[in-house]
Amino acid sequence: MTQPHAPTCLPPGHVCTVCGRRYKHRDSLVAHEKVHAGVTTCHVCGAVASNVQNLRQHLETVHRMSRDHVRQITRLPGTPRVRASLDPALRGRV
C-alpha cells in the first residue's frame, strides 16, 4: 500500500499568501489575488466572481447593466479607457 504524499512534497509554484491556494502560473495567482482584493465583488448584490470577466458578465446578465457602463465601473486602474482598435475614431492612427 502506498503512502499519500506529505504536504512538503507539493510541487513548486506560486502560492496565495491569503488562503494558501497554489498556482502553476504567476498570472493565475495574480488573477486570483483580485478576489481577495475585492476587485471581483459585485457592488450591487455582493456576489464574488472568480475573475473580472465573470463579474462583467454577471453585471450584464443579472443586473441588466449596459456593456459600456459595466466596462466603466470594472475598469482597473492604469488601463486605458478605450483601446484604439475598438474605437472607430482612432482606427488607423496607431
The predicted structure's pLDDT at residue 46: 95
pLDDT tens per residue across span 40-63: 999 999 999 999 999 999 999 999
| Assigned C-alpha cell, 22 | 497554489
| All domains in the chain, ordered by first residue | 12-74 (3.30.160)
Tell me the pTM: 0.65
Contacts of 14 (CB under 8 A, 6+ apart): 22, 23, 24, 25, 26, 28, 29
